[in-house]
Amino acid sequence: MKLPVSTEWLLHCATSLAQLEPRATASAAQLAEHYDLPAPYLAKQLQALVRAGVLAATTGPRGGFRLARKPAEITLLQIVEAVDGPSSPYECREIRQQGRGALPAEECRNACILAAKMADAHDAWRRSLAGVSLADILGELPAWAPERTRSLLTGAKDAGSGRRGTPR
Amino acid sequence: MKLPVSTEWLLHCATSLAQLEPRATASAAQLAEHYDLPAPYLAKQLQALVRAGVLAATTGPRGGFRLARKPAEITLLQIVEAVDGPSSPYECREIRQQGRGALPAEECRNACILAAKMADAHDAWRRSLAGVSLADILGELPAWAPERTRSLLTGAKDAGSGRRGTPR
């Protein structure tokens, strides 16, 4: 089982946006340049975070993405499930009800015990990721990180407009 | 992220084999018939359980598969990882070291905090599955299940030989 490659992209992009000043935004192009990612595909993935209520998108010449909520209110689970959906990696196709050993339907009113144990494991995975917020991640970064991120990420906007060649 | 469809097959096959009398075996053909599964592909997957030390394969006219260890010593994690491998669904490609925002290598001696949190979640998933043995699963089955499984699963051998048309 594999999560999409873009899971790493969005975890990092959300962490970077969490380091901007309040109301500041970064565009998909800036985020793509910051991590050397394919901009059109990243833009599509960022929209998934908007639909999930993790990011807000603003339009206009200064438009871009910012967090839709406080970092403490955004969990890694919300980001990961915005990319990959909430379903369990284990799919129960009820093979207990097929073949020579098929159980009668009245014996299958409850979930298969194997499916239930696989669901327990998925719940443990979800609880682990739901217990980590972007505020927790920011708390683990070195003290110099946010200023560096702001400078390099939003400096790209000025570089792109031709007014300044170096990050602020 | 999705586990292979055969994960369900092998969890059920191992549970069925755990219900046989000691030293009794069932062939890939019998297990395939029991659950209406494609026999050649199931046989290949059962070999993965042999390589993982979950099943033992015996040869000869009465040959087949049986548990390699006691049900209490076989966990769901061992079965699932025999099918899908032990790697985490999250792949960290170190995008923190690429692009305009690339961190210098000396800042990346420790694992990325995001990768570490994703690894924590995978550990929680693994711990959950490692905490459930086939003996635990057998303990949740109704009292009539083992005799029924033995009859239908090993009865198929006689039916296949043409000597008896109905399960014992």
Q: Does any domain span residue B61?
A: yes
The residues, ordered by sequence, that sit 6+ positions from A61 with a Cβ below 8 Å of its Cβ are none
Q: Based on the structure, what is the number of domains in chain A?
A: 1
Q: Does any domain span residue B49?
A: yes
pTM (predicted TM-score): 0.88
pLDDT-derived band of residue B84, with 50, 70 and 90 as boundaries?
very high
**The token pair that represents B156 in the structure block:** 């198929």
Q: Does any domain span residue B118?
A: no
pLDDT-derived band of residue B61, with 50, 70 and 90 as boundaries?
confident
Q: What is the CATH number of the domain that holds A68?
A: 1.10.10.10
Strand partners, A67: A55
Residue B156 confidence (pLDDT) above 60: no
The whole-angstrom separation of Cα A159 and Cα A155 is 6
Q: Does any domain span residue B143?
A: yes
**The token pair that represents B107 in the structure block:** 């800042």
Q: Does any domain span residue B128?
A: no
| Least CB–CB distance from B91: residue in A5, A122, A156 | A5
Q: Minimal Cα–Cα distance from B60 to chain A, Å?
A: 24
Q: Does any domain span residue A9?
A: yes
Q: Minimal Cα–Cα distance from A39 to chain B, Å?
A: 12
Q: Does any domain span residue B115?
A: no
Runs of H (alpha helix) within chain A: 6-17, 28-35, 39-51, 76-84, 113-130, 134-140, 145-161
The whole-angstrom separation of Cα A18 and Cα B116 is 19
Give pLDDT, residue A78. Answer: 98
Question: Domain span at residue A23?
Answer: 5-87+133-154
Residue A8 confidence (pLDDT) above 50: yes
Q: Does any domain span residue A60?
A: yes
Q: Taking CB atoms and an 8 Å limit, are A140 and B84 in contact across chains?
A: no
| Vertex A91 angle, CA A86 and A94, to 5° | 140
The whole-angstrom separation of Cα B147 and Cα B31 is 16
The whole-angstrom separation of Cα A54 and Cα A69 is 7
Q: What's the pLDDT tens digit per position in A107-147?
A: 888 889 999 999 999 999 999 999 999 999 999 999 999 99
Q: What's the pLDDT tens digit per position in A11-65?
A: 999 999 999 998 899 999 999 999 999 999 999 999 999 999 999 998 877 779 9
On whether the CB atoms of residues B71 and B138 are closer than 8 A, the answer is yes
Q: Helices (H), strands (E): how many in chain B?
A: 7, 2
